[in-house]
Amino acid sequence: MHHRLVKARRYRPRTAAIALTSAAAAALVGVLMPGTASAGIPVWAPYAQATIHPGVVTNTEGGGECTANFIFYNGIDVFIGQAAHCAGTGAPTETSGCTSATKPLGTPVKVTGASKPGTLVYSSWITMAKLGEKDTNTCGYNDFALVKIDPADRDKINPSVPFFGGPTGIATGSTAFGDPIYTYGNSPLRAGISALSPKSGVSLGDGGGGWSHTCYTATPGVPGDSGSAVLAKDGKALGVLTSLALAPLAASNGVGDMSRELDYLNAHGGLGTVTLALGTEPFHPVAT
């Protein structure tokens, strides 16, 4: 059994503790260096000056508070990613995105660091319901949405994941038991203590026909961490943190597979070709 991790009035978070090996609980640091823009890629704000980036809080009108994952773009717009269930209006225990209630496209989304609200322009939940998606794994684990950043805020965006740097690309294929993973959550339950946001951990392997990865971190993702960026051992975008398990692996987190979610978006989302923005800051985790 698992709970979606959106922070909303209807959610009553449960506390849990887990024990990890020292390697899985190791703290990490990032090395920050300037990046450069290439042809066809938007020009990003300098990392130190950007107010919109992975890890900021999003608040969907009529939905809940979540943590943004990565930055994306097409030929026209720039988007910030969140979990689809961040716009959900049903119970947090609903497990199928194909039948779960949600706010519609066009819903305003407050993005921390932006001067104007963004707009919900893609939801895997809405898309799957419209298509009549029947695959159980796709319905259960495809939990991804895009918020279009208002053009007035385009000069405030940097795609680098705080603390870790990256992403360096998109992870494809499977993850093995024990593979290192890194995530940055920004739940309001942490009371703004940024030192609690970056976490390292391990993958327990794949599930859902490759649509999901089960992960443990030093402390689990909690309500408000929904949508958080999860990086693989090489800094590639592994996925989107979406759920907290109560059983059978208590306090583990479910991570939706980024490569599959982005492929589904590009096949059915109607936004043209959407591309993951690479970080301007190199991925450089160092265990302590």
Residues 134 and 174 occupy one common structural domain: no
Task: Give per-residue pLDDT as tens, 89-127.
Answer: 988 778 799 999 999 999 999 999 999 999 999 999 999
Length in residues, the chain: 288
Structure tokens at 118: 């963004």
> How much is the average pLDDT of 49-70?
96
Confidence at residue 53, expressed as pLDDT on a 0 to 100 scale = 98
Give yes or no for residue 279 having a pLDDT over 70.
yes
Return the higher-pLDDT residue of 51 and 75. Answer: 51
Confidence at residue 185, expressed as pLDDT on a 0 to 100 scale = 81
Task: Give per-residue pLDDT as tens, 158-215.
Answer: 999 999 999 999 999 889 999 999 998 877 656 566 666 788 999 999 999 999 999 9
What is the rounded CA–CA span in Å between residue 230 and residue 168?
A: 12
With cut-offs at 50, 70 and 90, classify the pLDDT of residue 217: confident
Residue 128 is classified by DSSP as: H
List the domain range (segments joined by +) for residue 228.
2-29+161-257
Residue 53 is classified by DSSP as: -
Residues 174 and 137 occupy one common structural domain: no
215 in a domain, yes or no?
yes
What is the rounded CA–CA span in Å between residue 185 and residue 239?
A: 13
Give yes or no for residue 247 having a pLDDT over 50.
no
What is the rounded CA–CA span in Å between residue 212 and residue 137?
A: 9
What is the rounded CA–CA span in Å between residue 7 and residue 5?
A: 6
Residues 149 and 266 occupy one common structural domain: yes
Residues 95 and 112 occupy one common structural domain: yes
Domain count, the chain: 2
3-state secondary structure 245-265: ECCCCCCCEEEEEHHHHHHHH
Residues 131 and 168 occupy one common structural domain: no
Residues 137 and 14 occupy one common structural domain: no
Give yes or no for residue 243 having a pLDDT over 90.
no
Detail the DSSP E strand segments found in the chain: 2-4, 57-60, 65-67, 71-73, 78-82, 108-111, 118-123, 145-148, 180-184, 198-207, 212-217, 229-231, 237-245, 253-257, 275-276
135 in a domain, yes or no?
yes
Task: Give per-residue pLDDT as tens, 78-92.
Answer: 999 999 999 999 887
Residues 165 and 242 occupy one common structural domain: yes
pTM for this one? Answer: 0.84
Residues 84 and 150 occupy one common structural domain: yes
Give yes or no for residue 13 having a pLDDT over 60.
no
What percentage of residues in the chain have a pLDDT greater than 90? 66
Query: Is there a contact between 283 and 234 (Cβ–Cβ < 8 Å)?
Result: yes
- Average pLDDT of the chain to the nearest whole number: 83
206 in a domain, yes or no?
yes
